[in-house]
Amino acid sequence: MAGEILKAEEVLKVGQRLEIFLDGREEHFRSRIEDIRPDVMIVAMPFDNQRVPVIPATGESFYGLAADKASRYRFFTKFLGTSKEGQVPVWRITKPTECEKFQDRAFVRVRVKLHVKVRLVDEEGCIAEPVVAPVIDLSGNGIGFVWPKEVKVGTQVGLEINEIPNVGALEIMSQVVRCTAVKRGENDYIYHIGASFQHLSRAIANKIVHYVFTVQREVIAKGIGKD
């Protein structure tokens, strides 16, 4: 099920704790909402593991996670600069307009019209010739695609995706975590394969998440509905 899109003003509150995820950084950073203004949000200056202030480039995009007692919410924003609120060093960021509600998954999957080159790896480590398969859905940590044969859960698979905007050619090893038979006719089946990305950098994961978030907003805006 895709995450619900909510107005940020219904979710984000002063005093709320945040987790901040920057492109190119494996570590995420803790912060807090200090103030919400008409077009700017003020958040506490995050520090890295060495207690060094984290200061992105002006205009850098990133995403944050906020939480209440029941759910978590993701939003995209941009870094505008630093300042002080009293004695508290802070970031000034663009005020988000929308948040995506999380439920049971670390990353929400949405349906996308993409293709992926698939290379199955057998138990001896032999890599099969690539086969192009239609993608069913995509998230920041995995992918679903259509396959003509059953694939054992745990199988390693090499994937190549060239159609995700702002990502470029992505080649990544993955592991099959789900194989579901779908009946098309009498004794005629295809298989929906779910694969989990392995060793995906935070920077690339962020770009995929941003793309997924954009697709989801477009779908909802068209009134097509949610997955």
Which tens digits make up the pLDDT trace of 56-105?
Answer: 999 888 888 898 776 788 888 999 999 999 888 999 999 999 888 765 44
Mean pLDDT of the chain: 86
Residue 221 pLDDT exceeds 80: no
Q: How many Å apart are CA 223 and CA 227, to the nearest integer?
A: 12
SS3 of 209, please?
Answer: helix
Q: Nearest 5°: phi and psi at 209?
A: -60, -40
Q: Is the pTM of this model over 0.75?
A: no
Strand-pair partners of 100: 5, 74
CA dist list (Å): 24 to 27, 183, 203:
9, 42, 5
At 118, list the tokens.
Answer: 């698939």
Q: What is the pLDDT of residue 17?
A: 93
Which tens digits make up the pLDDT trace of 3-59?
Answer: 578 899 999 999 999 989 887 676 789 999 999 999 899 999 999 888 999 999 998
Q: What is the pLDDT of residue 1?
A: 38
Q: How many Å apart are CA 175 and CA 118, to the nearest integer?
A: 12
Domains of the chain in sequence order: 5-102 (2.30.110.10), 110-222 (2.40.10.220)
